[in-house]
A = this chain, B = another copy of it.
């Protein structure tokens, strides 16, 4: 996706060979117009898949997921990383290790919002080691729902998550796939749509 890649080149900060900071438009400050465009692209890629629900993870997955849900006319559910007092029962859960935060979180979604008849599009802002995405897949599988695929804003193609998830037969659509962050430079994978 051209507008997204331009934004990554212009505003992304390469902090190391593995860390790309995009907090000026994606995961701290949010460019709402870009998110709308991102939502339209995801909706277009999954428009023939009869999606009934989008499942994402708080917090950075919410903006692109809601914009996609707006176009596809389906509800968005975000998994929580922490239990709330008013949301304590009837949960689907999975354990997710975060390499960034160096901790394991139990993520959870209420059973009320993913049903066996749902056909789910899973979304997240980043795909790196794939732990968050595997956790979301586990939750959707536990609900007995179908998985149409995963929509990822930025995939780190040099990390193992994409391969890990695709090898399970899951369709993964990434809007920008990064081949390398070496020498402080963002290089995209050439066959990116």
Contacts and interface: CB of A to CB of B under 8 A. Distances in A.
Interface in A55-98: 58-59, 62-63, 66-67, 69-70, 73-78, 80, 84-87
Interface of A: 15, 19, 21, 23-25, 28-33, 35-36, 58-59, 62-63, 66-67, 69-70, 73-78, 80, 84-87, 100-102, 109-110, 112-113
Contacts of A25: 75
A36 B80 CA distance: 22
Nearest to A22: B86
Given A28-B77, A75-B32, A85 B59 contact: no
Nearest to A59: B58
Closest 5 CB pairs of A and B: A32-B69, A58-B59, A32-B70, A30-B76, A59-B59
B32 A66 contact: yes
A66 B58 CA distance: 14
A69 to B, nearest CB: 4
Contact of A36 (B70, B76, B102): B70
A87 B30 contact: no
B69 A24 contact: no
A30 B85 contact: no
Given A33-B73, A86-B19, A80 B113 contact: no
